[in-house]
Structure 1
Amino acid sequence: MTESAPAAFEPRPGQREILEYTAGRMGVAAVPGSGKTTTIAALAARLLGARFVGEGPLGESGEVLVVTYQNAAAESLRHRIARQLSQQSLPPSGYAVRTLHGLAYGIVQMWPGHAGTSSDFRVLDERSQRELIDRAVAEWNAENTPTWGRLAPGDDSTYDPVWEESWRRIAAGLARTCIAAAKNRRLDADGLLLALTAARQSGDPSPELPGMLYLRIGAEIFRRYQLLVETSAGIDFNDMVRLAVDLLESHPDLSTRLNERWPVVLEDEAQDSVPLQEELLGRLTSDRGHWIRVGDPNQSITSTFTSADPRFLRRFLDREDVTGLEMQISGRCAPPVMALANDLVDWVCDAYPVVEVRASAFRRQHMIATAAGDPQQNPSAEASGIALRGYEHRDEELLDVARRAGRFAQSQPECTLAVLVPTNRLGFELADILRAQEVSFDERLQSSRRARTVVDTLVAVLAAVADPLSSRGLAEAFRATHPASIDEPGKQPQPSPVEELVPLVRSCYRPESLFYPESGVTLADAFPPVQALRDADLASIEELAVRVRRWVSAARFPVDQLVLAIAHDLFAGEDLARAHRVAQFLRRRHDQNPAWRLPELAVDLKRADAAREVLGGEGDAAYEPRPGQLTVTTMHKAKGMEWDLVYLVSIDGVEFPGTTEDYFRGYQQHLGGDPAELARSQLTALIDAGSTAGATARAGQVEYISERLRLLYVAITRARRYLSVSFSQQVPVGQRSRRVPDALVFHRLRTLLDNRKASS
């Protein structure tokens, strides 16, 4: 379960010191389950209560600004602060809760002229940014074929369409990484290219390294991308934050005005801060310095795929002008689980075999159990347990975990439980196994199976409506809208299974006869002569024809109204709500691309990531684990939640590499590593040290190992009472299954657990 405030908040040590805040800069390192969110809400309410009687740093009319990482967290904080104010009989006002991008958007919107943009500026969504990057990559590739052609594996210099497609994906990932990293350091494409030229002219030997080439490629694609952004009259998310920082830097008077409005800034999830965020909040608090940053450096789990970096919070905590505090007391985990998490931190800090990881993975801080009388008592050691299991093959592991989870849910219906997976793909595999075993569960993955089904169904129907005379399109719409059914004795004749009817629909050579039959022409006449066309099958096909005819008539309306008309024919309940969100998404896409018609919109929705983008993360803000109901989610999405029993699967050497000699996802031997990571390492070295010397693949590998260790720490600390950790020796890698090395950290967990048992 997520953290929840007791009826009357009684601060414990660590929380109490935070609530005594009066002024200045404060940094708080909060361990898992220490009540971080509740304490932030209580501090905001206390500051507003002091303002009510004319005391404290807010003055008479100042507001508290709370900045957090995600929309779901922002909504939770708004609710908690309002509840705290209500308990103190104070009005629910005087505070603002914003995400970083929401804050930057508001600042730029206040003074668009000063920011160098128009008052009706448009922020590009994630899809639009990705499309522009793809276009920039295509342009660069067309003009630089010899460059990317030489990077192909092997010695064959002939054109290889397979490599071209692979390189297109690699280049897009490389470009996204370089663009985000450079913009977060307030570096434009021309500035980055100038810095690279200066490094080469200075005699820096590192331009010969592969990462230097990839960084230059990324910078050149960056330049093309930025031109496309400017041509589209939009700005991307990183530009928006940069514009806000530039605005406050060039107009100190505006910074002062905002500081008067928000004298105190409370930053939640500060371990996920990016460089631009630190600059923006630093400028907002430059006049008075009332800045409280709360987070857990040991739960920073996004730094390898975003510009976040836990070093920013660590440095802030160590600054001389910052009051550093720790929230170490946690009532979440049973003593054995807590001890395992603490031992993991100590081992990594003291003895991890890769020396650089010792300093980069964790901040040394321990979880401490609550004292007697605390409202949130830790589960007892007697009612807890930890199991470590090994399997021969991944399939065996998933099958056994699914069986055990299903049995536990039935035998312990009062408990919450979850299976946490390292990747969404693995979660989808497990979900299919659970369905086959008829185990009830909540799917909290990148996009649920039901969400993908809704999107796929609408894609098929929209394609058929866009081209109703295509028999292939009609067949796909038939497949999507008619579930298979089987004849049963004693029942009315049923249509044949859908997969038997799809070829029949595809064979229709007179589709117009389905929709507007001529006099004397039957439905069967629209198909080639076949034996025994069953009446039930024809009735099923006719039902589709009637629907498509109705939907084609509705195609003259705006796309969102068309989708809603289709949805009300096909869906109910939660699926109907999902279809409404798809309708809103397509309306936005049409507004962004006025020339698009239904065929283009259908293709746009068909993109592989549409379900994730449109419906991914649905309901996350309100999700609460339910007793007796299994949750399947990723280790990343599990952050902030807790369960009585947690299964951690696939803790193997592929998902959790232990040394720089291990296999790393994205690593390509013929490219010298992962091009995106190599480029990012070069960029970091170039900006931080003014040189690219020493930036190698090892730096990126160290960062990845460190983050995976933090991810495992987060996963372990989701368990309140019971924890199961498992791995397999045979796992899918690429297109085949192969034996992989055991995870170094798995063996260490076993040793740490055995040592604890021996000493108890």
Structure 2
Amino acid sequence: MPSAEEILRGLDPEQEEAVRAVRGPVCILAGAGTGKTRAITHRIAYAVATGVVPEQQILAVTFTTRAAGEMRGRLRALGAPRVQARTFHAAALRQLSYFWADAVGGPKPTLIDSKIKTVAAAAHSCGFQVDRTELRDLAAEIEWAKVTQTRPTDYETAVAKEGRTPPMPPRDVARVYEAYEELRSEHNLLDFESMLELTVAMIHERPDIAERIRSQYRYFVVDEFQDVNPLQKLLLDAWLGDRDDICVVGDPNQTIYTFAGATPSYLTGFPEVYPHATVVRLVRDYRSTPQVVRVANAVLRSGGAAALSPDYRMELVAQRPDGPEPTYTEYDDDLAEATAVAEKITGLINAGTPAREIAVLFRTNSQSATYEQALADAGVPYTVRGAAQFFDRPEIRAALHTLRGASRADDGESLVTTVRHLLQPLGLTEQPPEGRQAREKWESLAALAQLAETIAAQRPEARLADFVAELHTRAAIEHAPGFDGVTLASLHAAKGLEWDAVFLVGLTEGLLPIIYAETPEQVEEERRLFYVGVTRAREHLHLSWALARSPGGRRTRTPSRFLDGLRPAAAAPARQHRERHRKKDRMVRCRVCGATLLEAVERTLGRCQDCPASVNEELLERLRHWRREAAALQKVPAFVIFTDATLQAIAEQEPSTAAQLARISGVGERKLRRYGEAILTLCAGGTPEQAISGLREETP
């Protein structure tokens, strides 16, 4: 284990102050990119190294398994592997399960990670017919009520007091909420909120159990304290009892979950609860360039009357060298914006920025499809963030089982060859399959294969057993291997992450702030969400918006109010880009019924999705066969060559000339030059082998 002095080495003065404060209540106000995880893990390790507390008596709590895993990994490297770093729910479940027979008795309940099925049954029992979107909103509303400790009988009053807009009339939500709780109890189901409630009740009602838990955990660290909700605070207080060895860490400027019950008041009010607390402010930003930091600081300074007080604005001080100035660009429509963003991303990649270090961030998940299409048309691989935790995915669990079994009879083949061979029956084909869900499964397995290649390059002697051990270590700390593609993510999903280049898109009124943000407090939360997006960028920051939804549509949108005062006075709309892309066919109409096409897939097909169209199935199969071969030859995902929708449009329209092919959305000048001859060969009846020959000649 490193010595105490070695643990302090390399810390800045404020970080060192936080690390040395190992006794009593401590509040660390840590701005974005200021090294808060480094500070708290070094503080824990320093407390252990100086004999303040045994490592097994420390409980570090955070909000995501990924963050908890990162913390465990850092603590292991600092010589404190036995520190418990868990989420609130994981820690509560562990304690509740251990004491269940003694404290509760009877069969253990079934833990549910989704309320949707039970909420649907509850709504049906109340006579309501709701679709899946409404069910998700109802489930979220019930979750808010439970974390804020609002009972069904009090729900209507609480909603009116908070100014919330529920998905149904408040009285109806209360009825569904009550029915949900009855069904959950009847079927012995336990949701996450009830799990925390039961743990709190167990500690309060059983002094003997409380004593055992408090004797086990004497030293607490809580990360992201601005995101704590009232129910989690109840649990934390139950763990603490009358002790005060607690360190809380957070940034009130990154509070973006108040709609789900979180409140920054526990963080900002910490010094009032503990007047003798040590308060440390981390403001040195090691993540972003001065140019990005200036934007971030300006975003917070321009907050309205409901913004946080100046004491908590956390003015960041950049520590990195200068970088490029952020760009602000206005476009005619969403398609022009997405196309331009894809072009800029291509330029960054060609200049040496890895695709995995680039992100496109938006306010709502519905904005993703346009950028998926634009990146695919530009030949740029991408991945959509927001799926299940990597090691919880069914295909990864199956892969771990297969790899573990095979490691017992390693035949001596190379690591990469063995892993790819074992993953093939699970779905690791040479190129991604068609369909988004199938492609996401393929990406997971491909990430394992890429990790095997990385390990083999670093450790040529590594065998399958070594690879399995590495995977188990990563699973324990939630350190998932990455897929080498541009990240598409919502602003909420981007919190806690960072990239070299960030594109913040769709920055218009109604999207950011979202149209549902009506009160000053809600608008300020949207501002903080914008701040989170800005501070994800290390070096390149591009901000953009479009005045209309579709080409030729009315330009009724206005830039987000959050851009006021940020844009340089000389910043002008992207007129050159608009001129370059203004074509007669920008207004795409259905070739069957003549209706204006708005959706990306329909624009690619050249028709409404429900309009009849004949397709040459034989040609479509030849196109798919050729695409698989071309993708394998160029070592890129198949959708980078052409998307499914583009192949479908080609098979429907059967172009016979380059001009006809060029008019199909998704082809474009670059792909026409590279693949045009091959596609026309296939359309004329040629075989995939004939069409691929030209590519073989040009591929080194």
Which category of TM-score, normalised to the shorter sequence, fits these structures? Answer: 0.5 to 0.7
Aligned to 2:509: 653
Q: CA deviation at 1:68?
A: 0.8
Q: Are residues 1:364 and 2:313 paired? A: yes
Residue type of the alignment partner of 2:496: G
Identity across matched positions, percent = 23
Q: CA deviation at 1:393?
A: 0.6
Partner secondary structure for residue 302 of structure 2: helix
1:119-153 CA distance string (max 9 Å, x none) = 53321121xx21110111112125xxxxxxxxxxx
Contact 2:199-2:235 at 8 Å conserved across structures = yes
Residue type of the alignment partner of 1:740: R
For residues 61 and 192 of structure 1, the distance between their equivalents in structure 2, rounded to whole angstroms, comes to 43
Contact 1:417-1:630 at 8 Å conserved across structures = yes
Q: CA deviation at 1:8?
A: 8.3
Q: CA deviation at 1:270?
A: 1.4
1:182-202 CA distance string (max 9 Å, x none) = 32233443x537x95xx99xx
Residue type of the alignment partner of 1:388: Y
For residues 446 and 738 of structure 1, the distance between their equivalents in structure 2, rounded to whole angstroms, comes to 34
> For residues 453 and 247 of structure 1, do their structure 2 counterparts lie closer, same or farther at Cα, with a shift above 3 Å needed?
closer
Return the match for 1:664 from 516, 523, 538.
516
Partner secondary structure for residue 622 of structure 1: coil
Aligned to 1:592: none
**Alignment length (residue pairs):** 500
Q: CA deviation at 1:323?
A: 2.5
Contact 2:48-2:55 at 8 Å conserved across structures = no
> For residues 289 and 341 of structure 1, do their structure 2 counterparts lie closer, same or farther at Cα, with a shift above 3 Å needed?
same
Residue type of the alignment partner of 2:214: N
Return the match for 1:406 from 346, 351, 357.
346
> For residues 751 and 324 of structure 1, do their structure 2 counterparts lie closer, same or farther at Cα, with a shift above 3 Å needed?
farther
Aligned to 2:540: 722
1:439-493 CA distance string (max 9 Å, x none) = 2334435479xx99999xxxxxxxxxxxxxxxxxxxxxxxxxxxxxxxxxxxxxx
Q: CA deviation at 1:335?
A: 1.1
Q: Are residues 1:181 and 2:144 paired? A: yes
For residues 361 and 214 of structure 1, the distance between their equivalents in structure 2, rounded to whole angstroms, comes to 38
Return the match for 1:622 from 470, 474, 480.
480
Q: Which runs of 5+ in 1 are unaligned?
A: 1-5, 86-90, 143-163, 371-377, 456-564, 583-616, 666-697, 755-760
For residues 248 and 447 of structure 1, the distance between their equivalents in structure 2, rounded to whole angstroms, comes to 32
Residue type of the alignment partner of 1:716: V
Q: CA deviation at 1:206?
A: 8.8
Residue type of the alignment partner of 1:437: A
> For residues 284 and 651 of structure 1, do their structure 2 counterparts lie closer, same or farther at Cα, with a shift above 3 Å needed?
same
Q: Are residues 1:74 and 2:68 paired? A: yes
Please list, as runs of the form range in 1=range in 2, the aligned pairs for 1:279-428 lying within 5 A after superposition.
279-304=234-259, 306-319=260-273, 320-348=275-303, 352=304, 355=305, 357-359=306-308, 363-370=312-319, 378=320, 380-381=321-322, 383-413=323-353, 416-428=357-369
For residues 277 and 753 of structure 1, the distance between their equivalents in structure 2, rounded to whole angstroms, comes to 48
Return the match for 1:99 from 74, 77, 87.
87
Contact 2:70-2:479 at 8 Å conserved across structures = yes
Q: CA deviation at 1:226?
A: 0.9
Partner secondary structure for residue 723 of structure 1: strand
1:47-100 CA distance string (max 9 Å, x none) = 22223xxxx2x2x68511011101111111111100011xxxxx632x111111
Contact 1:184-1:307 at 8 Å conserved across structures = yes
Aligned to 1:120: 108
> For residues 229 and 581 of structure 1, do their structure 2 counterparts lie closer, same or farther at Cα, with a shift above 3 Å needed?
farther
Please list, as runs of the form range in 1=range in 2, the aligned pairs for 1:79-228 lying within 5 A after superposition.
79-85=73-79, 92-93=81-82, 95-113=83-101, 115-116=103-104, 118=106, 120-126=108-114, 129-141=115-127, 165=130, 169-170=133-134, 172-173=135-136, 175-189=138-152, 191-192=153-154, 214-228=169-183
For residues 231 and 174 of structure 1, the distance between their equivalents in structure 2, rounded to whole angstroms, comes to 23
> For residues 580 and 657 of structure 1, do their structure 2 counterparts lie closer, same or farther at Cα, with a shift above 3 Å needed?
closer
**RMSD after superposition:** 4.1
Residue type of the alignment partner of 1:648: L
Partner secondary structure for residue 243 of structure 2: coil
For residues 62 and 162 of structure 2, the distance between their equivalents in structure 1, rounded to whole angstroms, comes to 39
Deviates more, 1:236-245 or 1:250-259: 250-259
For residues 235 and 522 of structure 2, the distance between their equivalents in structure 1, rounded to whole angstroms, comes to 27
Partner secondary structure for residue 494 of structure 2: coil
1:567-613 CA distance string (max 9 Å, x none) = 9386548989x98999xxxxxxxxxxxxxxxxxxxxxxxxxxxxxxx
For residues 342 and 137 of structure 2, the distance between their equivalents in structure 1, rounded to whole angstroms, comes to 37
> For residues 253 and 207 of structure 1, do their structure 2 counterparts lie closer, same or farther at Cα, with a shift above 3 Å needed?
closer
> For residues 114 and 175 of structure 1, do their structure 2 counterparts lie closer, same or farther at Cα, with a shift above 3 Å needed?
farther
> For residues 282 and 732 of structure 1, do their structure 2 counterparts lie closer, same or farther at Cα, with a shift above 3 Å needed?
farther
Residue type of the alignment partner of 1:429: T
> For residues 279 and 208 of structure 1, do their structure 2 counterparts lie closer, same or farther at Cα, with a shift above 3 Å needed?
closer
Contact 2:328-2:544 at 8 Å conserved across structures = yes
Contact 2:103-2:206 at 8 Å conserved across structures = no
Residue type of the alignment partner of 2:104: G
For residues 263 and 452 of structure 1, the distance between their equivalents in structure 2, rounded to whole angstroms, comes to 35
For residues 218 and 419 of structure 1, the distance between their equivalents in structure 2, rounded to whole angstroms, comes to 36
Aligned to 1:440: 381
For residues 367 and 210 of structure 1, the distance between their equivalents in structure 2, rounded to whole angstroms, comes to 35
Residue type of the alignment partner of 1:720: R
Contact 2:252-2:267 at 8 Å conserved across structures = yes
Q: Are residues 1:744 and 2:561 paired? A: yes
For residues 286 and 99 of structure 2, the distance between their equivalents in structure 1, rounded to whole angstroms, comes to 46
> For residues 279 and 113 of structure 1, do their structure 2 counterparts lie closer, same or farther at Cα, with a shift above 3 Å needed?
same
Q: CA deviation at 1:33?
A: 1.0
> For residues 181 and 443 of structure 1, do their structure 2 counterparts lie closer, same or farther at Cα, with a shift above 3 Å needed?
closer
Contact 2:62-2:87 at 8 Å conserved across structures = yes
Partner secondary structure for residue 749 of structure 1: coil
Residue type of the alignment partner of 2:264: P
Aligned to 2:579: none
For residues 631 and 119 of structure 1, the distance between their equivalents in structure 2, rounded to whole angstroms, comes to 44
Aligned to 2:372: 431
Contact 2:72-2:81 at 8 Å conserved across structures = no
> For residues 566 and 725 of structure 1, do their structure 2 counterparts lie closer, same or farther at Cα, with a shift above 3 Å needed?
closer
For residues 729 and 452 of structure 1, the distance between their equivalents in structure 2, rounded to whole angstroms, comes to 39
> For residues 402 and 262 of structure 1, do their structure 2 counterparts lie closer, same or farther at Cα, with a shift above 3 Å needed?
same
Q: CA deviation at 1:428?
A: 2.9
Partner secondary structure for residue 307 of structure 2: helix
Contact 2:288-2:537 at 8 Å conserved across structures = yes
Partner secondary structure for residue 112 of structure 1: helix
Q: TM-score, normalised by structure 2?
A: 0.64
Contact 2:137-2:167 at 8 Å conserved across structures = no
Q: CA deviation at 1:745?
A: 1.0
Partner secondary structure for residue 566 of structure 2: helix
Partner secondary structure for residue 209 of structure 2: helix
Partner secondary structure for residue 14 of structure 1: helix
For residues 208 and 244 of structure 1, the distance between their equivalents in structure 2, rounded to whole angstroms, comes to 30
Partner secondary structure for residue 389 of structure 1: strand
Contact 1:68-1:268 at 8 Å conserved across structures = yes
Partner secondary structure for residue 712 of structure 1: helix
Residue type of the alignment partner of 1:107: Q
Aligned to 1:503: none
Aligned to 2:42: 42
Contact 1:454-1:579 at 8 Å conserved across structures = no
> For residues 17 and 427 of structure 1, do their structure 2 counterparts lie closer, same or farther at Cα, with a shift above 3 Å needed?
same
Aligned to 2:217: 262
Contact 2:20-2:46 at 8 Å conserved across structures = no
1:185-225 CA distance string (max 9 Å, x none) = 33443x537x95xx99xxxx999999799333222111111
Residue type of the alignment partner of 1:72: R
Contact 1:13-1:329 at 8 Å conserved across structures = no
> For residues 45 and 574 of structure 1, do their structure 2 counterparts lie closer, same or farther at Cα, with a shift above 3 Å needed?
farther
